[in-house]
Structure 1
Amino acid sequence: MFKKKGLFSVSVVSVILASLLAGCGSGTSASESSSQPPKEVTLKVGAAPVPHAEILEFIKPKLKENGVQLEVIVLDDEGQLNPSLKDGQIDANFFQHVPYLDSVSAEKGFDFAVTTKVHVEPIGFYSQKLGSKDELKEGAKIGIPNNPSNEYRALVLLQQQGLIKLKDGINNYEATPKDIAENPKKLEFIETEAATLPRVLPDLDGAVINTNVVLEAKLDPNSALFREDKDSPYANVIAVRKGDENREEIKKLDAALQSAEVKKFIEEKYGVAVVPAF
């Protein structure tokens, strides 16, 4: 009996010691694990050069701290940013507002989700010949973007300024000069690619130009004779393939873009040209 009892006691002690050692071992691993940086993943985001890519470059260090290696992809043709997202060449894009995305999605078969709003680039009216809108003469030539959503946006801005009146019922973010009901100055509208408007501005009496195009062309955004107000619905957004909006690295991207640091960066760098949408 004594020997069996002794063997039992030794076995119990051995089990206890093993448990303690195992506990110590797992505690050390947990401590070491908690001190390790998060596993780094690469996130490819396609963007327009200004201000989109510049904003993304600003948040790169913060994302790297959080385990995300941000790769900013700037394409010569911004029209390829949505096809590149659809084809999986990039993980997200940052160059467009929702009305534009809606206007091309049905036609092109894009199935995207919008994850966050970042900023508004108030579209404005620029001229190298006029000092105010009151100097617009009958038959003046006005340049406007020729993509559906921004063309509508430009015409609405001109309507807000009392220069034209659109037909009733035009509320689907699409309109062309054919949808103008009243044009008292008989303005002539030149529809062209948004990116080319700064180059043809000297040949026009004025043009409605997107702010990112103004910045890329090194024009002074403060020189606009009039512009959208801060309540514009055209906030630029992050778009991803539907189903990717819950990816951890996308959530980290969104959080970084809506930080107080980014808001300050936008306000200090771009002034009236770019307005935070958060």
Structure 2
Amino acid sequence: MSHFYVGGFCMDAMGRLTRLMELLMEDGGELGIREIAQRTSIPKSTVQRMLEALEECGWLVQDARTQRYRVALRLLLFANEWRLHQELVRQAQGVMLDLCRATQQTVLLLVLEGQQGICLNRVEPERTIRLVAETGKRFPLHAAACGKVLLAYSPPDLQQRILSTPLEAYTARTITDPCNLREEIARIRACGLAYSVEEMTVGAAEAAIPLFFRKSDRFVAALSIAGPSFDLEGRFEEFARLLKDAREKILGTKEVE
């Protein structure tokens, strides 16, 4: 049998993995090696190797009594998080467009991923001078307002990891002292707002706020306005009000579930 490779990956193997995972997700219960092989038309020996590898990675769980496999909690949490992010982008898009038009600045929606922030969505103004931040761009958690909001509302163990490792200086104004960063985290949590001027990019400034689930007060994302420092400095209170109004529009009429 011939195999087709893309970027070093065997498409035949990827197709088999996709069929196997789709079967387990759709079935919702526990399946044995023989049944999976029959329903996916994948050789039994190959199914066994794939299942063992997926179990080792934490994506599947094997019942010690029945020897059958089911989807692990890790995969379900990952899938639920992806759906949440997609819905959050959908609900925030119109509000972010309005906020961008009102401020003529870049509006960003960011979430925590691992030990970094990631840009989930962004809307940029039609002007020559603006902050450019592509969707999918990663941000450090100790620099700029958006990163500091994510850090301030991240789990304590993650905060400790960040604060116990050397903090990179992106500019002369980046906070690199752990004690100062702890104080900044406490201030952000006390007022629910973060500001930055040239902490990650010279000439750029940003204001950011946290978004929470209504029912549980669980932190879900950071919403920010970013642009040239000469546009934002002296207007942080104004932008903070606009961000809070935008937050109510995103989460006030329909909760993210």
Give the shorter-chain TM-score range: under 0.3
Q: Which has the higher contact order (CA 8 A, sep 6+)?
A: 1
What TM-score, normalized to structure 2? 0.25
TM-score in terms of structure 1 length: 0.24
Structure (1 or 2) with the larger CA radius of gyration: 1
